[in-house]
Structure 1
Amino acid sequence: MSKYDLIAIVGPTASGKTSLACKLAYELNSEIISGDSRQVYRQMDIGTGKDLSDYIVEGRQIPYHLIDIREAGDKYNIFEYQQDFYRAYKDITDRGKLPVLCGGSGLYVESVLKSYPLVNVPENKELRKKLQDKSLNELTLILSSYKNLHNKTDVDTAQRAIRAIEIAEYTLLHPVEASKTINLNSLIIGVDIDRETRRRRISDRLRTRLEEGMIAEVQGILDQGIQPEDLIYYGLEYKYITLHIIGKLKYNEMVDQLEIAIHQFAKRQMTWFRGMEKRGLSIHWINHNLPDAEKINSIKALL
């Protein structure tokens, strides 16, 4: 019996953490809980990198949770994620299994590893109207004025910045009862990938996903009536491809700007994970270049 309640696999985009988590879950006869803020949405498959083929190991389907649970266009938030995580966690552990959390959305992952008490914040239409014409830089400056806010690095669009300000403003003015949490003893594994390899993998993967039909995926969602601003809200692939589709970016501009944005995002992810260590979470880093069998044996030795 493991001394841990949860195994968490973290790392920047393109580090191979999903494949590793699935192979580990296969070895442990376990299940995956996603820690990704965008893979919750249906139809957003290529752009969010669901890589569902990774969840089939040696012919066996590895069960996964918190993927494809919301419709594209919805605004899913960290409070909802935390509650959904606890439901998935209880479901898995009630069946005697050790859950494996896998994802790169640092704030989402940390919210359960650190058991953050969260508040379900309603929409503030008056505040949103006041902020709607401000630039991302202006919004970031406003966001930094809230001393109690620790997630500004997770913001990469104006809409998400406005939501973060909305949350900060609400929690400042409304001392309400926060969500109930579960204190977990977690084994946290970080996939350590060097900068140049990470950059190469990101660039190669972007071109592969474009060839696989990522633009058609975004176009298909727009064709269903989802408004462009609702896809832009999700950032990265959905932001830049939508801007291309609606005529605001030429193809080459879209690819170049998106590639830069993903590299910047991966850098922010690593900054976040290093910050987690400073905030008291112990991460065992495993070299990306090791064979999978060695990585898994190293993890099993820690259990």
Structure 2
Amino acid sequence: MKQYDLITILGPTASGKTTFACHLAYHSDAEIISGDSRQVYRSMDIGTGKDLGDYMVEGKPIPYHLIDIRDAGDKYNIFEYQHDFHKAYTDIRQRGKMPILCGGSGLYIESVLRGYSLVNVPENKALRESLQNKSLEELTALLASYKPLHNTTDVDTAQRAIRAIEIEEYTKSHPAERNEFPPLNSLIIGVDIERELRRQRITNRLKARLEEGMIEEIRSILDKGIHPDDLIYYGLEYKYVTLYVQGKLSYEEMFSQLEIAIHQFAKRQMTWFRGMEKRGLHIHWIDYAIPMDARIAMVQKLIEEK
């Protein structure tokens, strides 16, 4: 195992990657580093699918990192993630353990595997105020004037689009502080789940999360004084459930639109992972339907082959 810097387990939402990673960690005496852009936020548990119960395998707690490290309402970014990742990564390696990076946020994962050099862009209050009354369509058109819109998550909400414009405007005229982290040699495992099964699991999981209290969780966050726009910023569950709580969507509209949005998100995740392969990162795809013990044996064999 020491020939690899780390192991990466990735896959689309509802593919069971966290359960897989935790069982692999149990058998490998490893620790998990989350590669999820929203699980960093405290109190946002059900909607982000933290599933912290998965981190207990056969009665043994699996150590995890980069979950619950920021307050709901914060605007965590990939530049900060790189710093936090490398702190956790170095700590784990210095203790003689193997890190397992697990998540579905392709950009976050690729940024640390490839050692992206990123810009730390400060908030531009004047620019934000000048853009706050523009529609999402207007913001999208403005952002497109800076660059081709390959990453559609940039324009999922008005706040995301404004942040993307802020970054483009800053980098156009400022020599910026940059991260310089080396690329990492990772064994990358992708969870390959059949499309219709993935869609079924997404729908079933959405129903389960609503029954588990996702609406109440979001109401509780709003009751703490978090502005609705700050939750809508996070997209998906936090966007549509917040709109429902505000009375802007009926329950049926919320469920239907959110279900569609999650399916679209899973499709975008797979597109990103395929792009990672085209950019030179080899992903070993393992079928979700294979029993857990067999999947772990396959990973261990790949490690030995190295």
Range into which the TM-score falls when normalised by the shorter chain:
over 0.9
Matched, 1:25 2:25: yes
State how far apart, in whole Å, the 2-side matches of 1:148 and 1:171 are: 16
In structure 1, what is the Cα distance between the partners aligned to 2:275 and 2:232? 27
* Counterparts of 2:12 and 2:66, CA distance in 1: 19
Partner of 2:190: 190
Q: Specify the alignment match of 1:55 in structure 2.
A: 55
Distance 1:149 1:181, change over 3 A: farther
Alignment partners' CA distance in 2, 1:280 and 1:8:
15
Partner Cα separation in structure 2 for residue 298 and residue 154 of structure 1: 36
Deviation (angstroms), 1:151 = 4.0
Residue deviations 1:169-219, cap 9 Å, x none?
Answer: 212211223112132111111111111000000000000000000000000
Q: What whole-Å deviation, never above 9, does each CA across 1:71-112 have from its counterpart, x for those lacking one?
A: 111111111111000000001000011100001111111110
Distance change >3 Å, CA 102–CA 225, structure 1 → 2: same
**Local SS of the residue matching 1:225:** coil
Q: Which residue of 2 aligns with 1:97?
A: 97
- In the TM superposition, residue 229 of structure 1 has moved relative to its aligned partner by 0.6
Structure 1 contact 149–168 (Cα < 8 Å) conserved: no
8 Å CA contact retained: 1:218, 1:241: yes
- Paired with 1:150 and 1:175, the residues of 2 have a C-alpha distance of 24
The SS at the match of 1:286 is strand
Matched, 1:81 2:81: yes
Q: Give distance in 2, aligned partners of 1:292 and 1:208.
A: 23
Matches within 5 A, 1:1-303: 1-147=1-147, 151-153=151-153, 155-303=155-303
Aligned partners of 2:136 and 2:158 also within 8 Å: yes
Q: Equivalents in 2 of 1:157, 1:196: separation in Å?
A: 28
For the Cα contact (< 8 Å) 1:143–1:152, is it kept in 2?
no
Shift, 1:60, TM fit: 0.3
Moved more, 177-186 or 230-239: 177-186
What's the TM-score once normalised by structure 1's chain length? 0.96
Q: Which amino acid aligns with 2:265?
A: F
> Conserved in 2, the CA contact under 8 Å of 1:35 and 1:105?
yes
> For the residues of structure 2 that align with 1:152 and 1:231, how far apart are their CA atoms?
19
Distance 2:196 2:16 in 1: 15
Report how far residue 164 of structure 1 moved: 1.4
Cα distance change, pair 215–196 in 1 and its aligned pair in 2 (3 A): same
Q: Structure 2-normalised TM-score?
A: 0.95
Amino acid at match of 1:248: K
Q: Which amino acid aligns with 1:4?
A: Y
Q: Please tell me whether the aligned partners of residues 107 and 151 of structure 1 are also in contact (alpha carbons under 8 angstroms).
A: no
Rounded to whole Å, the distance in 1 between the matches of 2:50 and 2:86 is 21
Contact 1:148–1:168, Cα closer than 8 Å, also in 2? no
Letter in 2 for 1:195: R
CA distance, structure 2, for counterparts of residue 240 and residue 270 of structure 1 = 23
* Inter-CA distance 279–150: structure 2 relative to 1 (3 Å threshold): farther
Shift of 1:136: 2.7
Shift of 1:152: 4.2
Preserved contact between residue 46 and residue 214 of structure 2 (Cα < 8 Å): yes
- 1:17 and 1:140 mapped to 2: Cα distance? 33
Structure 1 contact 152–164 (Cα < 8 Å) conserved = no
Q: How far has the Cα of 1:145 moved from its partner?
A: 3.2
Q: For 1:85, what is the secondary structure of its paired residue?
A: helix
Tell me the distance in 2 between the aligned counterparts of 1:52 and 1:155.
30
Aligned mates of 2:287, 2:246 — CA distance in 1: 41
1:126 & 1:151 partners in 2: Cα distance? Answer: 25
Unpaired runs of 5+ residues, structure 2, are none
For 2:124 and 2:22, how far apart are their aligned partners in 1?
A: 40
Deviation at 1:148, TM superposition (A): 8.2
User: Secondary structure at the residue paired with 2:137?
Assistant: helix
